[in-house]
Amino acid sequence: MEFNVDENEKINEEILIQSMSDDDLQAFRNEFMNLHPYDQAQFYSKLEQVDRIKIYHYLSPDELANFFEVLEIDDSDYKDILAGMEPKYAADMLANMYADNAVDVLNKLDKDQVASYLTIMNKEDAQEIKGLLHYEEYTAGSIMTTEFVAISANQTVRSAMYILKNEAPKAETIYYVYVTDDDGRLVGVISLRDLIISSDDTMITDIMFDRIISISVGADQEDAARQMRDYDLLALPVVDFQNHLLGIITVDDIIDVIDEEASDDYSKLAGVSDMDTMDRNPFSAAKKRLPWLIILLFLGMFTASLIGRFENTLSQVSILAVFIPLIAGMAGNTGTQSLAVAVRGIATGELEEMNKMKLIMREAGTGLITGTICGVLVSVVVYVWKGELFLGFLVGISILASLFVATLAGSLVPLVMHRLKIDPAVASGPFITTMNDITSILIYFGLATLFMSYLVH
C-alpha cells in the first residue's frame, strides 16, 4: 500500500492505456474505479474521441456521470462528446448527474439536442432539469441543485436520521437538513453535526436554527457567494419570494463562482474581454483583445489630436514633448490604483458598509498627498537636470494636478457606475488610463500655453 502519493502518481495512466488497448475491461475498471472523480475526469479529458467511446462500454451511465460533473473542457467540446454517446446512454448519464451539473452541461448544447435528451429521460428527472434550465445565468437559481434533504419539524431526531439515511445516496449534501412546513416553506435548518450529538428522542423543532440564512432565487450568484463566505456555510438554501424552498447551493459551486468573478474583475482591469484563452490559437486570442485595443486606439488618436492643437506651443518649446509620457503615465498609474481599490471594495462588499463620501474624500486626500510629493520630486529633478526653474515648476504642478484628478476619477467613476447598476469593473484599467492621459495632457499643455512667455527665452 502506498500513501500520500505525489500529484503525478495519483493516476497510473500506463495501466489504464494498456488495459484499453488490450480491451481488458476488468483491468481497466480495477484501476479506474479506484480513482477520485477529479482524476478520472483528468484522464478522460486527455483522450481522443475513439478512446472515449471505448470508455462508454466499460462504464455505466451512472459511473460516467460521477466524473463528468467535474470535467474541465472547452464549452464547445461538449456537443461532440455527447454526440459520440448513444442517445439513451447520454440521457441516462445526464439523469444520473446532480441536476445543477446536468443543467450546466445542457446549457452548452444545441436546443434540439437538449430537447431530444429530455424526451428520452424518465419524466421525473426531465421535469427537475427543465425546472432549473429556465433560470437566468449568474443568478442563485442557475447554480442551485434540487437534491437536498427536507424534513418536517414535528418529528424526532431518530426519525429524521432515518429519512436522512434513505436520502443520503442521492442528495448533493446531507450535512444540512432543511425543515419545511406543509406548504414547502423553509422554517428551519439543522446541521448533521447537531443531529448526531442530539439524543434520539429530541424533537427537531427544539434544536433547529430558525433564523435562517437564505437567498432569493433571482439574486446575483455573487451575493450567494458573499453570504456563504461570511456565514461559513457549506450549503445555502434558495427560496422564492414566498419563502418556498426551491434548492440549495453547495460550497464547491460557490468556490467556482468566486474564482470566476475574480478572474472576471482581473481581466477587466487588464482590458481583456475573456481570460479563458489558455489553449486557443493567436487568432482567437487577438479577436478577444482587439475590440478594446481599437477603442483605445481611437481614444489615443483623440489624445494625439489634442496635442496637435498645441503644435504651436510645441514647435516653440520642443523640450515640452520630453515630459509627455511621464505626466500621462503617472496619471494613468494613480488612476489605476484608485480604480482597483474601489472596484475590489465593491466586489468584496466592503464598500457597502463604508460611507461613499468618506471614500471619495479619502481618495482626494490621497491624490493630493501623492501628487504633492511626486510633483516636488519632479521639479527638483528637472531643475537639476535641465537647469530650468520654470520648466521644473511647470512639470511639477502638472504632475500634482494630474495625480489629484486621476486619483479622484479612479474612485468616482466606478462608484457612479455602481450607483447606476453598471458593473464597475467595466471601467477597466486601460480605459481609465486613457481618460487620464487626456486630462493630464490638457492640464500640462494648458498650463504651458498659458505661461508660454516664461518658457521661451
Total of residues contacting a second copy (CB under 8 A): 129
For residue 136, the 8-state DSSP code is P
Phi, psi (deg, nearest 5) at residue 102: -60, -40
Quote the cell numbers at residue 294: 481599437
20-28, 76-84, 341-349, 416-424 -> range binding a second copy (CB under 8 A): 341-349
Residue in 165, 206, 416, 426 binding a second copy, rule: CB under 8 A:
165
Task: Name residue 180's beta-bridge partners.
Answer: 186
Of 388, 387, 397, which is closest to residue 440 (Cα–Cα)? 397
CB of 99 to a second copy, least distance (A): 16
By CB under 8 A, name the one of 56, 138, 175, 390 that touches a second copy.
175
Residue 152 in contact with residue 181, Cβ under 8 Å?
yes
Shorter beta-carbon distance to a second copy: residue 4 or 453: 4
Burial code of 128-162, b = ≥16 C-beta within 10 A, e = fewer? bbeebeebeeebbbbbbbbbbbbbebeebbeebbe
Chosen residue from 109, 217, 239, 448 binding a second copy by CB under 8 A: 239
Q: What is the Cα–Cα distance from 374 to 323, expressed in whole angstroms?
A: 14
Q: Give the list of residues 6+ apart from residue 259 with CB closer than 8 angstroms, or none.
A: none
Q: Minimum Å distance from CB 380 to a second copy? A: 11
CB nearer a second copy, residue 95 or residue 245: 245
Out of 100, 104, 125, 265, the only residue in the binding site for a second copy (CB under 8 A) is: 265
Give least dist CB 194 to a second copy, A: 9
The residue among 4 and 26 lying less far from a second copy, judged by its C-beta, is: 4
In the window 74-133, what residues touch a second copy (CB under 8 A)? none
Cβ 365 to a second copy, closest distance in Å? 3
Smallest separation (angstroms) from a second copy to the CB of 115: 30
Decide: is 16 part of the binding site for a second copy (CB under 8 A).
no
Please report whether residue 254 would count as binding a second copy according to CB under 8 A.
yes
* Bridging pattern class, strands 176-180 and 186-191: antiparallel
Q: How far apart are CA 190 and CA 176, in angstroms?
A: 6
Q: Which is closer to a second copy, CB of 48 or CB of 279?
A: 279
Q: Does 196 bind a second copy (CB under 8 A)?
A: yes
Comparison of 142 and 402: residue with beta carbon closer to a second copy: 402
Residue 452 binds to a second copy (criterion: CB under 8 A): no
Strand-pair category, 215-216 with 235-239: parallel
> By C-beta, is 133 or 181 nearer to a second copy?
181
- 339: contact with a second copy by CB under 8 A: yes
| Pick 114 or 174: Cβ nearer a second copy | 174
Amino acid identity for residue 298 in this structure: F
**Per-residue DSSP letter, 187:** E
Q: Is 368 helix (H, G, I), strand (E, B) or coil?
A: helix
Subset of 364-403 contacting a second copy (CB under 8 A):
364-366, 368-370, 373-374, 377-378, 381, 385
Q: Are strands 186-191 and 215-216 parallel, antiparallel or unpaired?
A: unpaired
Nearer to a second copy, 380 or 422 (CB): 380
Give 121 or 314: the residue with its C-beta nearer to a second copy.
Answer: 314
Comparing CB distances to a second copy, the nearer of 141 and 271 is: 271
User: Among residue numbers 198 through 237, which ones bind a second copy (CB under 8 A)?
Assistant: 209-214, 216, 228-232, 234
Question: In this structure, what C-alpha cell is assigned to residue 237?
Answer: 438554501
Q: Give, in order, the Cα–Cα distances in Å from 60 to each of 29, 88, 92, 335.
A: 11, 12, 9, 56
Binding mask 275-314 toward a second copy (x if CB under 8 A, else -) reads: x-xxxxxxx-xx--xx-xxx-xx--xx-xxx-xx--x--x
**How many other CB atoms sit within 10 Å of the CB of residue 425?**
23
What Cα–Cα distance (Å) separates residue 326 from each residue in 54, 147, 270, 431?
Answer: 62, 59, 21, 18
Q: Report whether 58 contacts 25 (CB < 8 A).
A: yes
180 secondary structure, DSSP code: E
Report yes or no: 190 and 209 within 8 Å, Cβ to Cβ. yes
Considering only residues 150, 187, 203, 455, which one is a binding residue for a second copy as defined by CB under 8 A? 187
